[in-house]
Amino acid sequence: MKVAICRYGAGNVRSVELALGRLGAELVDDLAGADVTILPGVGSARSAMAGLTERGTDVVLRERHAAGRPILGICLGLQLALDESEEDGGVPGLGLVPGRAVRLTGERVPRIGWAAVEPGGDAFWFAHSYAAETEATVATSEGVSAIVEHGSFTGVQFHPEKSGVAGARFLEQCLSRG
C-alpha cells in the first residue's frame, strides 16, 4: 500500500506519518500516483489554501479526484475540499465536495475533546472551530459533520492519527479501500 501525504506547511504531518507507519503503509512522495493520498491540515484556511496553490497541490488533488483515485482529508483537509470556508472572511476551497465550512455555534468553541461518531459509536479526537455543512455527510458527532464522502474523497473532521485504538482501526479501513 503506497500512501502519499500532502506537505504544504499546514501541520500535523508527523503524527499522520507515524500513524501510517504503525499500520505498515509505504510512504511515498508521488501525490498523483499513490494508492491513497492524504490531505492533513491544522491552522487557518487561508494560509493553508495558499500553501496548496503555491505548490500546485490543488491541481494534483482535483485531477486525482476526477480520476476517481482515493483521497483522505483530515480536519482542515476536509474543510479545504469543500467549495468554500467562511473562515478568515471567506476562502474558496478545492471544490472536490459540494458544501461549505461554517463556524461552530456550540457552547464552547473551539470544540476540543473526544466525542462519539454515529453511526458506529466509537469516540474520536476533535479539535476544531469550523465544520462542514454538506449533503455529503455520512456520519455525525453531536450534530456536527464528522465524516464526508463524495466520489473518491473521504473527509474526517476528527483526527484518526490521534484517536488511539479507534483511530488506528479507522485509518486501516480507509487504507483497505485504496
| Number of residues in contact with other proteins under rule CB under 8 A | 39
- Which residue stretch of 40-48, 51-59, 93-101, 147-155 sits at the interface with other proteins (rule: CB under 8 A)? 40-48
When binding is defined by CB under 8 A, the residue of 65, 100, 128, 150 that contacts other proteins is: 128
* Pairwise CA distance, residues 133 & 127, whole Å: 17
Residue 20 Cα distances to 25, 31, 135, 169, angstroms? 6, 15, 29, 11
CA distance 12 to 159: 10
Q: How far is the CB of 66 from other proteins (least distance, A)?
A: 30
Q: Residues 69-108 vs other proteins: string with x where CB under 8 A? A: -------x-----------------------------xxx
Q: 10-39: which residues touch other proteins (CB under 8 A)?
A: 11-15, 18-19, 22
Q: Which is nearer to other proteins, 60 or 117 (CB)?
A: 117
114 binds other proteins (CB under 8 A): yes
Q: Are 136 and 178 in contact (CB under 8 A)?
A: no
Residues in the chain: 178
Pairing of strands 144-150, 137-141: antiparallel
- Restricting to residues 148-167, name those near other proteins by CB under 8 A: 159, 161-165, 167
Nearest CA to 40 out of 166, 157, 172, 167 is that of: 157
The catalytic site residues sit at 75, 159, 161
Q: Does 142 bind other proteins (CB under 8 A)?
A: yes
163 HSE (CA, 13 A, CB side): 26
Binding interface with other proteins (CB under 8 A): 11-15, 18-19, 22, 42-44, 47, 76, 106-116, 123, 125-129, 142, 159, 161-165, 167-168
